[in-house]
Structure 1
Amino acid sequence: MEKFDWLSTIKTNIWLLHIVGLWPKDNQTYKCNYYTLYALSSGICFTVGHNLLQTINLFYIYNNLEVLTASIFVSLTQFIGIFKSLFIVKNIKTLKDLMDSLKSDTFQPKNRRQRELAQISLDGWQTMFHFFCGVGGFTVLILSVFPFLDQSFKQYRLPFLVWYPYDTNISPFYEITYLYQALCCYFISVVNMMTDTLIAALNMYIGAQCDILCDTIRHINGPDKELDVMWLNCIIHHRKILRFADCSQQYFNWIVLLQFAASVVSIGLSMFQLTVVVPFTSVFYTFCSYVVAIALETFIYCWYGNQVELKSSEIMYATFESNWVDAPIDIKKKIQFFSLRCQKPIKMSSLKIFYLTLETFMKILQTSWSYFALLHQVNSKK
């Protein structure tokens, strides 16, 4: 049977990461070559430089609550892009090893039924990827062309409040700066969205492997010698799933923690902005699209993490559904040992502080609402 290509669905993701300098070709890592030079220069120019200038501008507007919140809610998301880039560069070898491990015989579907199970997971991720990129791309487009929507470009308004060491109200400095901000916005958005969907893909692979393992366990049958080998293979498969999950979690531990913190603040600030702008204007719809994009970004983490927990918890039930009643004593001991190891489902987390579950997603929304309520109360007292 032809090998199942686990990476076929995420080729666009990998290609876009390569474009922004975060994925060297093939199995290569960062070396002293032109690609590393490109990754370093583009990261400094479009990610670090833009965020640094935005941070400087905050010191000029800190005493204006409305303007400050309007600037911070975008700055936070873009600032997280720096850390996501750094963690990918730092863990690029680990990530590529994880991708290579998917090609091993242990992780391959054993029959057509298992291939269909795996394809369902891949198709679900691809649907999510297209939807998320559509929402995110639309939000970035709205942010980058905002001055044209409300005609403020005539007053030399830029898409983002950023400090520059020159006068941007003079042509051609305005046009050049506008183009630079738009390029930075798209560059950082690609970094953020591709990192988010890559983490979702890793969790999707873990869940798909749990589906395959459950199917294998439920259909174990044959002579005693074959049963012994089959259960041994299942134990090995489960160990490799746990190792894959552990390596994946080590990579995105800090990314998830920072993203959750940024999401809480960004959603709260965006909701506050909706209360101080004129309803049903271009500004209003810009904030609406941003809230949806950030909420969806957080939901993706929690959804796929939650799927890992649910699917891994099915392994123990699949063990009881297997044909173990008539098995020899020595095989029953292996089954008992295996079932004990499967009692605790795989829980994806961020430094064991936040678990990637739908319950966590609801808590994030609740916390964001608390920040919004606080800001609204402070602003109403003025």
Structure 2
Amino acid sequence: MKAFSWKDTIKFNVLILKLVGLWPENNTYKLNLYILYSFLSINIFINAHTVFQTTNILFVYKDLEALTSIIFTTFMEVLTSAKAYFFIQNMDILKQLMNDLEEKMFQPKNQHQRELVQQILNVWRFTYVAFWIPVGTTLILWSVIPFLDGSFKNYGLPFTAWYPYNSKSSPWYQFTYIHQVISICFIASANLNMDMIIVALLVYIVAQCEILCDDLKNLIDYNNTQNFYFMFRDCINHHKKILRFADNSNKFIDKLVLGQFFTSGASLALAMFQLTLVFSVKFYRMGEMLILVR
């Protein structure tokens, strides 16, 4: 029977992470062209955009409405930068987890187990597509919102930010607009796909537990005492490997999940506070950003 490939399920997920500079070919980042691409993409399109928006807080802190709006979006962007840092820092753990899945003990042993695993992985695929739909819609709306509300006539941008040049003159306005659109696409894509890698690890653990349960159910079919002993021993070893895999997964995701929990709560609170101040296009824009955070 052909070996089951766990990585096929997340191959598009991995492709997006490669595009945003978060998935090196080797276990860690090494001196090559990809690390240069990763350095430029993360710093130009994620960190730089975050810095420009954060700096703008110093100029609008007296305007409560503008301040809450900026902090709301900045929270999500700072979280993405932090998540990217920890994601890269723990890349060796993640790559080792991916390699562990290829071990023979983690493989489905028959067609029934393959079907069990496939059902679980299909849930992940559905969730991935379900998240991409609102995220993609939000990105499109954020990209064209200055045209929808007419603010582009006054050189309005999708995001309020400070720049060390005059962004309200051509061609700097067009350059800044394109940079903001690309940046939010990078930020949203990185955020979503890092989160879905976390979900994939949890789904893999569930799938392994299903395989183990099925093996235990089938122990009764072994009438030979020696065969029963060997299969039971394999089940024990499989269980130990699942626990080790889960422990390493926790080491990889603990800081990422903590940051996500804190930022989601803070963003929701700011969105509700913004609702008490104004109920307009700005609030809808914040609601769209909340989709990206969640």
* TM-score using structure 1 length: 0.74
Q: Retained in 1: the 8 A contact 2:14–2:23?
A: yes
Q: Retained in 2: the 8 A contact 1:270–1:290?
A: no
Which one has a larger percent helix, Structure 1 or Structure 2? 2
Distance 1:144 1:70 in 2: 17
Q: Alignment length, in residue pairs? A: 292
Within the alignment, does 1:162 sit opposite 2:164 as a pair? no
In structure 1, the partner of 2:245 is 244
Distance 1:64 1:287 in 2: 17
In structure 1, the partner of 2:70 is 71
In structure 2, the partner of 1:57 is 56
Distance 2:171 2:196 in 1: 38
In structure 2, the partner of 1:35 is 34
Within the alignment, does 1:232 sit opposite 2:233 as a pair? yes
Within the alignment, does 1:269 sit opposite 2:270 as a pair? yes
Q: Retained in 2: the 8 A contact 1:20–1:42?
A: yes
Distance 2:266 2:242 in 1: 34
How far off its partner does 1:274 sit? 3.1
Q: Which whole-Å deviations, capped at 9, do the CAs of 1:41-71 have from their partners, x for residues lacking one?
A: 2111111111111111111111211111111
In structure 2, the partner of 1:321 is none
In structure 2, the partner of 1:254 is 255
List alignment gaps of at least 5 residues for structure 2. Answer: none
In structure 2, the partner of 1:203 is 202
User: What SS does structure 1 have at the residue aligned with 2:219?
Assistant: coil
Distance 1:99 1:2 in 2: 18
Distance 1:250 1:278 in 2: 42
Distance 1:10 1:248 in 2: 16
Q: Which whole-Å deviations, capped at 9, do the CAs of 1:287-316 have from their partners, x for residues lacking one?
A: 33333443xx3xxxxxxxxxxxxxxxxxxx
In structure 2, the partner of 1:23 is 23
Q: Which whole-Å deviations, capped at 9, do the CAs of 1:89-114 have from their partners, x for residues lacking one?
A: 21222111111111111101111111
In structure 1, the partner of 2:6 is 6
How far off its partner does 1:284 sit? 4.1
Match of 1:10, as an amino acid? I
Match of 1:3, as an amino acid? A
Distance 2:289 2:47 in 1: 22
Change (3 A) 1:185 1:277: same
Match of 1:125, as an amino acid? W
Match of 1:177, as an amino acid? T
Match of 1:236, as an amino acid? N
Q: How does 1:1-382 map to 2 (within 5 A)?
A: 1-25=1-25, 27-221=26-220, 222=222, 223-278=224-279, 282-294=281-293, 297=294
How far off its partner does 1:141 sit? 2.0
Distance 2:270 2:247 in 1: 34
Distance 2:289 2:209 in 1: 35
Change (3 A) 1:56 1:172: same
Structure of greater relative contact order (alpha carbons < 8 Å, 6+ residues apart) = 2
Distance 1:37 1:229 in 2: 50
How far off its partner does 1:84 sit? 1.5
Instruction: Provide the alpha-carbon RMSD of the alignment.
Output: 1.4
Distance 1:7 1:131 in 2: 20
How far off its partner does 1:170 sit? 1.2
Greater CA radius of gyration, 1 or 2?
1
List alignment gaps of at least 5 residues for structure 1. Answer: 298-382
Q: Which whole-Å deviations, capped at 9, do the CAs of 1:225-269 have from their partners, x for residues lacking one?
A: 111111111111111111111111111111111111110111111
Distance 2:210 2:61 in 1: 52
* TM-score using structure 2 length: 0.95
How far off its partner does 1:28 sit? 4.7
Q: Retained in 1: the 8 A contact 2:72–2:286?
A: no
Q: Retained in 2: the 8 A contact 1:73–1:269?
A: yes
Distance 1:215 1:122 in 2: 17
Q: Which whole-Å deviations, capped at 9, do the CAs of 1:276-295 have from their partners, x for residues lacking one?
A: 3345xx4343333333443x
